[in-house]
């Protein structure tokens, strides 16, 4: 990893811990790199400069990670997806396919970006408003997750041809 990015990666790990991320007591490096890459930060920039670009795994995140100095191999996209992107989605920091929510799950055009709430919170890192923004983001994320679980339970599983199935537990 380039020493120029060490400070940003360290801050990303602290941010993720503040937001409740913990994988076996620590922050996954893939999650920290993913956060910095999605925020579009470069050495010398502070979190108030975070941007909200839409990136795919291959053409966006992996290229930015290479710039950071973390050269993931081509076959490590799944590590980035599982430990980075999916973890940040679960925290409510990242949204999948904001420009085209109807993309199929395995589309090569699947893209990710920071949520507006996450962007607003990240821009307050190291300010007096940080703790309040973190608290609001965590509450909003928990509400959203609960709402999405209810929505998915009502909608069922979409199939080709426009049909949905609903799976009910057998008692």
Three-state secondary structure of 70-139 = CCCCHHHHHHHHHHHHHHHHHCCCEEECCCCCCCCCCCCCCCEEECHHHHHHHCCCCCCCHHHHHHHHHH
pLDDT on residue 46? 94
Alpha-carbon torsion angle 149, 13, 26, 83, nearest 10: 50
The DSSP 8-state label assigned to residue 60 in this structure reads I
> SS3 for 23?
strand
Spatial distance between the Cα atoms of 152 and 154, rounded to a whole number of angstroms: 5
* Contact between residue 52 and residue 113 where contact means Cβ atoms under 8 Å apart: yes
Q: For the chain, how long is the longest CA-to-CA vector? A: 58
- Average pLDDT over every residue of 93-98: 92
pLDDT on residue 2? 45
Is the pLDDT score of 14 beyond 50? yes
Whole-model pTM?
A: 0.79
- Average pLDDT over every residue of 88-100: 90
Give me the percent of the chain exceeding a pLDDT of 70.
Answer: 78
Q: Band of the pLDDT at 1, cuts 50, 70, 90?
A: very low
pLDDT on residue 131? 95
The DSSP 8-state label assigned to residue 57 in this structure reads I
- Average pLDDT over every residue of 95-118: 90
99: Cβ contacts below 8 Å, ≥ 6 apart: 54, 111
Give me the percent of the chain exceeding a pLDDT of 90.
Answer: 35
The 10s digit of each residue's pLDDT in 120-166 is: 999 999 999 999 999 999 888 878 777 777 765 665 555 555 555 56
- Average pLDDT over every residue of 91-98: 90
pLDDT on residue 71? 61
Can you list the domains of the chain with their CATH numbers? 3-165 (1.10.10.1820)
């Amino acid at each position: 990893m380039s020493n120029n990015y060490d400070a940003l990666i360290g801050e990303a790990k602290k941010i993720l811990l503040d937001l409740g991320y913990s994988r076996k007591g620590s922050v996954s490096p893939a999650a920290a790199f993913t956060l910095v890459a999605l925020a579009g930060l470069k050495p010398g920039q502070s979190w108030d400069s975070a941007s909200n670009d839409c990136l795919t795994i291959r053409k966006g995140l992996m290229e930015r990670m290479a710039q950071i100095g973390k050269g993931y191999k081509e076959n490590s996209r799944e590590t980035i997806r599982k430990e980075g992107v999916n973890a940040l989605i679960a925290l409510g920091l990242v949204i999948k396919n904001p420009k085209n929510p109807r993309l199929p799950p395995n589309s090569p055009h699947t893209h990710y970006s920071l949520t507006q709430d996450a962007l607003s919170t990240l821009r307050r890192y190291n300010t007096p408003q940080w703790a309040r923004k973190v608290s609001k983001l965590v509450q909003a994320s928990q509400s959203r997750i609960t709402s999405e679980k209810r929505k998915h339970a009502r909608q069922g599983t979409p199939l080709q041809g426009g049909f949905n199935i609903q799976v009910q537990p057998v008692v």
